[in-house]
Structure 1
Amino acid sequence: MSEDLVDFSNVASYYVTNKTNNNNNNKNSADSSSPCEINQDVKIKTTEMHTAGEPLRIVEKGLPPVLGSTILEKYLYAKLYLDNYRRFLIYEPRGHYDMYGALFVEPDDPQADIAVLFIHNEGYSTMCGHAVIALGRYAVDKGYVKTLSSPETVVNIQCPCGLVKAFVSYNNGKSGAVRFHSVPAYVHSADIKVGVPKFGVITLDISYGGAFYAILPASRLGLDLKTTTLQDLVSAATAVTDAVKKQEKITHPESPDLGFLYGTILTDDLSKVTKGQEGVTTCNICVFAHKEVDRSPTGSGVTARIALMAHKRQIEMNQVVRFVSSSTQSEFTGKAVQEATIGNIKGFTVEVSGQAFYTGESVFTFEEGDVLGKGFLVH
């Protein structure tokens, strides 16, 4: 995907010139000058899913239009004008600190079956693998794909990072497990040294799997994924994220809007893997956004880790690695399927596989006078 940095003044101009009468008449529509407010007319319908334990709230109806000519313009528009809706859906009393969601927007890529923005406790992300796995099933089941085929149906999902191709198991009218190929993944920085308060100078890697992650074994921080408390793991990962943000400049070769650190992944001590070895298993925990803990092994994080492992020649092409979440023991698998380039950087196309499940449907409303009803967090 090649996108220019979005100029906010141009985006605002687009909104002013392209608002329709319908938008002007909609009480819940945002305008070009102020954020959209939550009021008693709000009624939002969602489908609830989870992938390997990580929740996904899929917003189906009730949002104001998300304006913009490209998905990155829509991404920025949502940040500017629809953030009250993110808090409404992600925060308590409807969500919780570690809640995650997806908003449908109109695709601008002609190949896309659907296009989505991802929301969490801090804001918006550029890619989400667990969401892609859930959305692949959802798109097949809800009729977003024109042609269904067995044993797999292909779903093209436009994300802020680019087009992601999901392959949804489909047999006898029922969807199942999903594998996906994300945008090219690559290593941004290998074996760099970063000063982390309370931990000293630590060696780590920064890798991209649709989002950027700092990656390092927990043992370098004197921690263990099995015995260290979750609170201590989260605190340490957050300290690493904060230190990297202060000390390292992260750039994306095609779009400056994508150039930021999303979180830190603490891993076990898996190092050299025997050539052609089957049954390789590794464990990790991902702490992203504002100290948010992924219950799954993290789809974009698995993508970034596979790219890192392939870059360091720890694995071969098409060698399957099993990833286990230290928080839930849930699993994804991943493998590098081919070499790829992003800009002028060599990387890999990575395949990640997992399973998502439906957990329910919701309709969310707001009652005037509810001082907590627009969203709050306790952590």
Structure 2
Amino acid sequence: MYGVLLVTPDHPEADIATIFLNNEGYSTMCGHACISVARYAVDKGLIHRPITFPETQVNIQAPCGLVKTFVSVEGGDNLKSGRVRFESVPSFVVATDLEVQVEGHDVVKVDVAYGGAFYAFVSITDLGLDFQKSSIGEINKAATAVTNATKKAVTLTHPDTPAFLYGTIVVDTRDRTPCDVSTNICIFADSETDRSPCGSGTTARIALMYHRGHIILGQHHTFQNGVTGSQFLGRPVKESQVENKMAVVVEIKGEGYYTGRSELTLEENDSLGRGFLIR
């Protein structure tokens, strides 16, 4: 689950702006949250452009950059939003087959890629685990160890956004067959388990697939969460560049839901009202 703080955008093309909240703090991108908040913006009348059918565009200023979303809309006076697709910021590969020593495991090969946030990718078989037989606790523990090891092994940079390893995505080994369904589990922030296939992680994974020649522009691929079974459909849509790195813009399509709205009040004399953390 994710939190989204809506703030006033300062990007000239943005309809809304977001700050993403998780169990550790903040992140640069969350595709699943973009899908949900784009629907929320349409349903609650937060955008000033006219509603169009069958899709309404909602531009979101995220910490990683401008994310263009397209919300399926039906109905007349009683609008109903549905599935959403979004175009990612330019995404790229940082490293492939990076050998890291993971606590509790042998040396494993890790890929690192950016899809609005930086992720490590590791095969579940290399960890000696199985999506069907291993518990989520075992997968979570191993993925967290991969994140910690990879942070020590790679230096991350980005010209426009904070550069830090956000988490590890444990994948199956079927990226070489693009017509198949790929399975993954994303462990991010403070060992939080994603209920979705992970929008920004799927974006980064497609950048990896494109880098390796396992998918071409316009070719769709389905990604499935190994626990919940939820799916995203993704494809690379055009090449781009980030500094001197070849990059690709990715389209992700899926479903997301908003579950509540909260209003916080800060009283003038509340000395702790600006926030604190106890562990």
- TM-score, with length taken from structure 1: 0.67
Q: Aligned pair 1:151/2:44, yes or no?
A: no
2:175, 2:182 within 8 Å by CA — same for their partners in 1? no
| Amino acid in the other structure paired with 1:115 | A
SS in 1 for 2:223: strand
SS in 1 for 2:125: helix
Equivalent position of 2:111 in the other structure: 205
Within 5 A, what are the aligned runs for 1:1-379? 55=1, 100-145=2-47, 146-172=49-75, 173-252=79-158, 254-255=159-160, 257-273=161-177, 278=179, 280-361=180-261
- CA–CA distance in 1 between the matches of 2:245 and 2:16? 28
- CA–CA distance in 1 between the matches of 2:278 and 2:227? 21
- CA–CA distance in 2 between the matches of 1:230 and 1:356? 22
Rg larger in structure? 1
Say if 1:364 and 1:226 are closer, same or farther in 2 by CA, change over 3 A.
farther
SS in 1 for 2:257: strand
2:167, 2:186 within 8 Å by CA — same for their partners in 1? yes
Deviation by residue 1:297-348 (Cα, 9 ceiling, x = unmatched): 0000010001111111111221111111112111111111111112221111
Say if 1:365 and 1:259 are closer, same or farther in 2 by CA, change over 3 A.
closer
Q: Any stretches of 5+ residues in structure 1 without a counterpart? A: 1-54, 56-99, 367-373
- CA–CA distance in 2 between the matches of 1:294 and 1:208? 17
- CA–CA distance in 2 between the matches of 1:108 and 1:114? 9
What is the Cα deviation at residue 115 of structure 1? Answer: 0.5
What is the Cα deviation at residue 377 of structure 1? Answer: 8.7
Identity %: 49
Runs of 4+ in structure 1 deviating by more than 4 angstroms, as ranges, are: 360-366, 374-378
Aligned length: 270
Query: What is the RMSD computed on CA atoms of the aligned residues?
Result: 2.2
Which structure carries more helix by proportion?
A: 1
Higher alpha-carbon deviation: 294-303 or 351-360: 351-360
Say if 1:156 and 1:241 are closer, same or farther in 2 by CA, change over 3 A.
same
Q: Any stretches of 5+ residues in structure 2 without a counterpart? A: 267-274
| Amino acid in the other structure paired with 1:162 | G
SS in 1 for 2:133: coil
